[in-house]
Amino acid sequence: VAEKETLGFQAEVKQLLQLMIHSLYSNKEIFLRELISNASDAADKLRFEAINNDALYGNDHELRIKVSLDKEAKTITISDNGIGMSREEVISHLGTIAKSGTKEFFSRLSGDQQQDAALIGQFGVGFYSGFIVADRITVETRRAGADSTQAVRWESTGEGDYSVEAIEKAGRGTDVILHLREGEDELLSNWKLKSIIRKYSDHISLPILMQKEEWDEEAKATVARDEFETVNQASALWARNKSEVTKEQYDEFYKHVSHDFQEPLTFTHNRVEGRSEYTQLLYVPGHAPFDLWDRNKRGGIKLYVKRVFIMDDAEQLMPTYLRFIKGVIDSADLPLNVSREILQESRDVKVIREGSTKRVLGMLEELANADEQETKDKYVTFWKEFGQVLKEGIGEDATNKDRIAKLLRFASTHNETDEQTVSFADYIARMKEGQDKIYYVTADNFNAAKNSPHLEIFRKKGVEVLLLTDRVDEWMLSFLTEFDGKELTSVAKGGLDLGKLEDEAEKKEHEETETQYKDLVEKMKGALLEKAKDVRVTHRLTDSPACLVADEHELSANLVRMLKAAGQ
Q: Which residues are at the interface with ligand ADP (CB under 6 A)? A: 34, 38-39, 42, 80, 82-85, 93-94, 124, 126-127, 174, 259
Output the smallest distance, CB 78 to ligand ADP, in A: 7
126 binds Mg ion (CB under 5 A): yes
Output the smallest distance, CB 24 to Mg ion, in A: 14
316 binds, among ligand ADP, Mg ion, none (CB under 5 to 8 A by kind): none
173 binds Mg ion (CB under 5 A): no
Residues 408 and 424: beta-carbon distance below 8 Å: yes
**CB-based closest residue to Mg ion:** 126
93 binds, among ligand ADP, Mg ion, none (CB under 5 to 8 A by kind): ligand ADP
**d(Cα 319, Cα 356) in Å, to the nearest integer?**
9
75 binds, among ligand ADP, Mg ion, none (CB under 5 to 8 A by kind): none
Output the smallest distance, CB 293 to Mg ion, in A: 23
121 binds Mg ion (CB under 5 A): no
438 binds, among Mg ion, ligand ADP, none (CB under 5 to 8 A by kind): none
CB-neighbour burial class of residue 518 (10 A; exposed 0-12, middle 13-18, buried 19+)? exposed
83 binds, among ligand ADP, Mg ion, none (CB under 5 to 8 A by kind): ligand ADP
Query: Residue ranges of the alpha helices (H) in 369-480?
Result: 373-396, 401-407, 424-429, 446-450, 456-461, 473-477
SS (H, E, C) 109-143: CCCCHHHHHHHHHHHCCHHHHHHHCEEEEEEEEEC
Residues 506 and 497: beta-carbon distance below 8 Å: no
**d(Cα 95, Cα 184) in Å, to the nearest integer?**
25
**d(Cα 101, Cα 260) in Å, to the nearest integer?**
13
**CB-based closest residue to ligand ADP:** 126
Closer CB to Mg ion, residue 126 or residue 285? 126
Query: ∠56-62-67 over CA atoms, to 5°?
Result: 110
Output the smallest distance, CB 124 to ligand ADP, in A: 5
Closer CB to Mg ion, residue 38 or residue 122? 38
279 binds Mg ion (CB under 5 A): no
85 binds, among Mg ion, ligand ADP, none (CB under 5 to 8 A by kind): ligand ADP
Closer CB to ligand ADP, residue 38 or residue 400? 38
39 binds, among Mg ion, ligand ADP, none (CB under 5 to 8 A by kind): ligand ADP
Closer CB to ligand ADP, residue 234 or residue 448? 234
DSSP state of 373: H
Closer CB to ligand ADP, residue 124 or residue 285? 124
Sign of CA dihedral 185, 186, 187, 191: positive
82 binds Mg ion (CB under 5 A): no
**d(Cα 117, Cα 261) in Å, to the nearest integer?**
10
Number of chain residues interacting with Mg ion (CB under 5 A): 2
Strand order in the sheet with 486-490: 411-412, 466-468, 437-442, 486-490, 482-483
Closer CB to Mg ion, residue 255 or residue 409? 255
130 binds Mg ion (CB under 5 A): no
Output the smallest distance, CB 129 to ligand ADP, in A: 8
**d(Cα 285, Cα 293) in Å, to the nearest integer?**
16
**d(Cα 550, Cα 494) in Å, to the nearest integer?**
6
Residues 156 and 59: beta-carbon distance below 8 Å: no
Q: 29-48 mask for Mg ion (x: CB under 5 A)? A: ---------x----------
Residues at the site binding Mg ion, with contacts judged by CB under 5 A: 38, 126
